[in-house]
Amino acid sequence: MLVLLASAVVHVWTFLGIDPIRDRWVFVLHGLMFLPFAAGLIDARRVEPDRKKLLRILFHAPKWAVALSAVLFVYALANSAISLSGGDLGFAEIRGGKYVLVNHGQVIRELSQREFEQRRAHGIRWFSALWMVFSCVGLTFLLAAAKARNEQVEAAALPIASSE
């Protein structure tokens, strides 16, 4: 949940003109997003070991979590399409005291300060949308697995009706 919230905060910052990259700590989220995702899938596999039936576990997830995961997934796709339609591909960097657009280590062109800031915001916005999707899907699987496990325990605890 914390990874999802931190990712959402970073994402919102990109719309407010705050440059989250300046501190570089935000890229920790790039690795942390895999923790809830992996934990969710591992926990779900413990409850439903059959990979072909794994997605069925989502029927146990809270509807809000499934809906939020779906909305974030669609948003990330739209965000990616918008980011990639912006012309030159690459990342904004400062090299030799100049703002430049770099792709695979090669300087494509020089940028104005405004373009530099916009490019940085678009880049972190793209990453943070993915961070939100992965962490939310992981959270959804964790919630679904917990509920499914509880239902299995409750079903096992019910007395078997005798036919006498």
Encode the chain (164 residues) as per-residue pLDDT tens digits.
899 999 999 999 988 888 777 767 888 888 899 999 999 999 999 999 988 888 999 999 999 999 999 999 999 999 888 877 766 678 888 899 999 999 888 999 999 998 888 888 888 888 899 999 999 999 999 999 999 998 888 878 777 655 55
**What is the total count of domains within the chain?**
1
135 lies in some domain? yes
107 lies in some domain? no
Q: Which domain holds residue 84?
A: 2-89+117-148
Two tokens, residue 40 = 């969710």
pTM reported for the whole predicted model? 0.81
pLDDT for 164 equals: 52
79 lies in some domain? yes
DSSP-assigned letters across all residues of the chain: -HHHHHHHHHHHHHHTT--GGGGSGGGHHHHHTHHHHHHHHHHHHHH---GGGGGGGGGGS-HHHHHHHHHHHHHHHHHHHHHHTSSS-SEEEEETTEEEEEETTEEEEE--HHHHHHHHHHHHHHHHHHHHHHHHHHHHHHHHHHHHHHHHHHHHHSPPPP--
Sign of the torsion formed by the C-alpha atoms of 15, 5, 42 and 56: negative
157 lies in some domain? no
